[in-house]
Structure 1
Amino acid sequence: MKILIISHNSFSTFQSMGKTFCSLFSAFQRRELCQFYIYPTIPDVNACNSYYRITDRDVLHFFKKFKVYGKEIKINPASNLNHKLFENRNDESFYRNKKNRSAFRSLARDFLWTITPWFNGSLREWLRKEQITHIFIAPGGYKFIYNIALKCSRFLNVPIVTYVCDEYFFTSPQKGIVDKIKDILLKRKMKQLMSKTSLIVTISEELKNIYEPYFKKPTKVIMTGTSFPIASVPLQRGTIKELTYMGNIRCNRYISLCDIGDALDEINKEYNKNYSLNIYSGENDEGILNELRKRKSIKLNGFISGDKFRQVFYSAQCLLHVEAFDKKSIDLVKNSISTKIADSLGSGILLLAYGPSQIASMEHLRRNNCAVLVDNKDKLKNTLFKIVSMSESDRSVIISNALATANIYHDANTNGTELLNAIAEI
């Protein structure tokens, strides 16, 4: 058996989807995996027999060189260069431009991949060499990645497994004309991919309950496993004086972080305290960062990875997960469960989650009574005050539930074996 993983992001220990791949495929041998990916980064984990990459810049260079130069990526897991979001620093401004998320640019990106000859001799030779038996596609909000999976499947004549972890199909109708066109084309392409799919793997029961009956395809729930070993007992932290948030602050999550900063500022002023929120993120949008800087209790830290990430993560007094409350953001994550939740529940550290009650992440935590939850801005200040005043024994009850939940739903070895067996049966 040899699985071709097709995705935007590569395997990694520092990016959410990269970490998800490490967990999902933990039961596979390195010789059983290869990956085709798009993002201009280098894997920092030697999980696959081979990696092949074609970036947007490679596709754009067709108009200068009349050829798309994809390449097999050779990695050195010991290299510090591999622990970065971007292989080349000048790629960051190109990929992090906030205008890239507009419907017009999304359509332009899809069109670019449609008209350029990315499926060239070099890629075909690599596909033949790898002797692939199955394709595992982790798509997203761009049509071209679906086309890549369909084209490779036709060329190799192998079955497709589609991984659904974010919601792009059962979403509310878009308002703008360009947004509507993008939405219609994407959903049409999703239907095409699902018609060729042999198995759908979802990240939550909520996603399975809507995808399986609609597409009439076998569907299996495999939740994200932890990136680290699950702790055996709650970690002792004494008094909580700071919260720690690690990860993406876009999709309006920064607004929820600002809410927490406002509440901490009020508590600090009212009770003469110095409680703080530490944010570790690779965000460089000055508009977003300036909003966060307005809150005195918020301390912005840059992107960290590798041993530094592990050190900060395990030294946290209280971990934080947030989601946005606006309708568009809720629509995107309503049936998904964040990658960070698995690691947080298995850490032995108290988790605070702030987000809308109707989304799957919050429901998962509520069902298992394994985190402190806030689903309303008006309740935020009181809840934060309770957390910093909470006794070690009260925290231990919640953390013990979190560890039990992690062992049931988020054990990487168990979940990886489930995926291996599910694909082997196709």
Structure 2
Amino acid sequence: MQNRHPRVLIVGTVPYNPNTSSRAFDAYFHNWEKENIRQIFSNTKTPIKGHCGSLFQITDQMLLERHLHCIKDVGKIYNYDDLPTEWIDAGDLEVGSKFSEKLYKLGSKDSAFKHLARKLLWNEKLWNTEKLRNWLDEFNPECVFLAFSDDFFIPEIAMFVADRFGIPIMSCIGDDYYFNDKKSLSPLYHIYRKKYKSCINRVFEHKSSAIYISDKIRNKYNDAFGINGDTVYLVSDIERHEFRPINVEDLKISYCGNIRLGRNTSLVDIGNALQEINSSYKVDVYSAEKNGEFIKVLRECPGIRYHGLVSYNEVMKITAESDISIIVEGFSPENVTITKYSLSTKAADAISTGCQILSYGSEDCGVIGYMISTECSVVCTDRSMLVNSIKKLINDIEYQRKLYNQSSIIHKEHHNKQKSIAVTERLFRELIEK
């Protein structure tokens, strides 16, 4: 343990990619030897070079074809040296046919039926193959890293590996999948929730610990399951720039990220507020979203320029060059429930770079509450606050300097890569040795 990191098997839907939520893996495994990390994943894309020396892909399509006796074996192995350095198009699925693409788009809609149908499809008899077992035995993992999701098959695979090798499970928990019950009259929904909770209960019956995205969700799950996990904050590769006053004559305001869950309408509120202050002020919005339903309101707002998808390298450049970086959440009860514990990667980027930050959304949303508590951002929790708050931010240089200095403190305390790595290594060491 002192001369090397333990052999960790990641089980999660998406492999490391800086353009996705899986970029959080860099806060955990940045210093890990590649030969000591492998991953089983279900995403349909070819992975890119990251932290893993080898990856094992199992997709819905593979399992369906095996179920229909179209193929005899399941799983594709990727080795580090053979991988590309980046996804050519992070917005497209690589599924091999138009029929399969439609199937995956249908499956992307969150529903109890989808989860239960996938539970049937991901029958252990289909995915637990000799090919997978040989790949696992060759690696001989010392710990499983379970990237939590709301599906059954990810934790079920994690438990299979833990039982096969007699090793513990480190859960990575960023969203409240377990306690987030909705009011529903659907019998299927309640069947799904009962079966899902039973599955997660079995995960925590193993020797286990957890890595959390925030203190808020850490406290809830540690207390509920009697575990001793800790928070590992997201980090950013953006270099911090020196303080610079906002240029009111050429104001650069940006938002890079997801526009669902009411974030698009919150961005429209900000765009309208900017137009009320100065008709030349606009928000530049960058997102991988392809559904016109969510994009339409942005294109119709005179205070917004919608640009579509950019790479993470471009996100870093855009954020670093912005006067103001925006963090938004929605206000509807349903959206607030979903984002109650979320801590966006945008927060780590904005805090790290040193630009001014405008946060807008319900104070009950995880990232909005975090920005309130850290005091390094202008925070608006009601539309009526936007115009005056933005005016104060862009016109008061001393206020800008105060926020910059506070974000510098939070960057060092929370979003420091070496600190995050050290906490991760300690948690794995304590779990494996206990």
TM-score by length of 2: 0.89
Instruction: Verify: 1:419 aligned to 2:424, yes or no.
Output: yes
**CA drift at 1:423:** 0.4
Q: Partners of 2:88 and 2:56 in 1: how far apart?
A: 15
204, 210, 218: which one aligns with 2:214: 204
Q: Partners of 1:396 and 1:382 in 2: how far apart?
A: 18
Q: Which moved more, 1:24-33 or 1:340-349?
A: 24-33
Structure 1, unpaired ranges of 5+ = none
Q: Partners of 2:59 and 2:132 in 1: how far apart?
A: 13
User: What residue number does 1:132 align with?
Assistant: 141
User: What residue number does 1:329 align with?
Assistant: 335
Instruction: Verify: 1:40 aligned to 2:44, yes or no.
Output: yes
Instruction: Verify: 1:310 aligned to 2:316, yes or no.
Output: yes
Distance 1:68 1:258, change over 3 A: farther
Q: Quick one: which amino acid aligns to residue 148 of structure 1?
A: I
Q: Quick one: which amino acid aligns to residue 170 of structure 2?
A: V
**CA drift at 1:314:** 1.9
Counting only pairs closer than 5 Å after superposition, residues 149-228 of structure 1 correspond to structure 2 as 149-177=158-186, 178-228=188-238
User: What residue number does 1:122 align with?
Assistant: 131
3-state SS, counterpart of residue 394 of structure 1: helix
Counting only pairs closer than 5 Å after superposition, residues 247-258 of structure 1 correspond to structure 2 as 247-258=257-268
Q: Partners of 2:421 and 2:122 in 1: how far apart?
A: 32
265, 284, 287: which one aligns with 1:281: 287
**CA drift at 1:235:** 4.6
Work out whether residues 244 and 277 of structure 1, in 8 Å CA contact, stay in contact via their aligned partners in 2. yes
Distance 1:106 1:415, change over 3 A: same
Q: Which moved more, 1:133-142 or 1:208-217?
A: 208-217
Q: Quick one: which amino acid aligns to residue 415 of structure 2?
A: H
Work out whether residues 70 and 122 of structure 1, in 8 Å CA contact, stay in contact via their aligned partners in 2. yes
**CA drift at 1:262:** 3.2
Distance 1:124 1:398, change over 3 A: same
**CA drift at 1:81:** 4.1
User: What residue number does 1:60 align with?
Assistant: 64
User: CA-to-partner distance for each residue in 1:91-131, whole Å, 9 max, x for gaps?
Assistant: 76654458621222222122211366111111111111112
3-state SS, counterpart of residue 354 of structure 2: coil
User: What residue number does 2:371 align with?
Assistant: 365
Counting only pairs closer than 5 Å after superposition, residues 345-356 of structure 1 correspond to structure 2 as 345-356=351-362
Alignment identity in percent?
22
User: CA-to-partner distance for each residue in 1:51-109, whole Å, 9 max, x for gaps?
Assistant: 11112222222225154521112455664545635462867665445862122222212
Distance 1:237 1:58, change over 3 A: farther
User: CA-to-partner distance for each residue in 1:240-291, whole Å, 9 max, x for gaps?
Assistant: 62421111112232222232233334x16xx5x2111111111111111112
Q: Quick one: which amino acid aligns to residue 329 of structure 1?
A: N
Q: Taking CA–CA contacts closer than 8 Å with sequence separation of 6 or more, which of the two structures ends up with the larger relative contact order?
A: 1
Q: Partners of 1:308 and 1:216 in 2: how far apart?
A: 42
Distance 1:288 1:117, change over 3 A: same
Work out whether residues 49 and 86 of structure 2, in 8 Å CA contact, stay in contact via their aligned partners in 1. no
Work out whether residues 226 and 342 of structure 1, in 8 Å CA contact, stay in contact via their aligned partners in 2. yes
3-state SS, counterpart of residue 109 of structure 2: helix
User: CA-to-partner distance for each residue in 1:214-235, whole Å, 9 max, x for gaps?
Assistant: 1112222222222334x26335
392, 400, 418: which one aligns with 1:395: 400
Q: Partners of 1:252 and 1:97 in 2: how far apart?
A: 21
Distance 1:334 1:59, change over 3 A: same
Q: Partners of 2:368 and 2:48 in 1: how far apart?
A: 31
TM-score by length of 1: 0.91
Q: Which moved more, 1:389-398 or 1:201-210?
A: 389-398
Work out whether residues 12 and 42 of structure 2, in 8 Å CA contact, stay in contact via their aligned partners in 1. yes
Distance 1:55 1:324, change over 3 A: same
Q: Quick one: which amino acid aligns to residue 286 of structure 1?
A: G
- Matched positions, count: 419
User: What residue number does 2:151 align with?
Assistant: 142
Q: Partners of 1:259 and 1:94 in 2: how far apart?
A: 35
Structure 2, unpaired ranges of 5+ = 1-5
Instruction: Verify: 1:21 aligned to 2:25, yes or no.
Output: yes
Q: CA RMSD in A?
A: 2.4
Q: Partners of 1:197 and 1:234 in 2: how far apart?
A: 47
User: CA-to-partner distance for each residue in 1:294-339, whole Å, 9 max, x for gaps?
Assistant: 2122111121115333322322221111111111222222123222
Counting only pairs closer than 5 Å after superposition, residues 91-106 of structure 1 correspond to structure 2 as 94-97=103-106, 100-106=109-115
Q: Partners of 2:177 and 2:183 in 1: how far apart?
A: 12
Work out whether residues 211 and 230 of structure 2, in 8 Å CA contact, stay in contact via their aligned partners in 1. yes
Q: Quick one: which amino acid aligns to residue 113 of structure 1?
A: W
**CA drift at 1:197:** 4.3
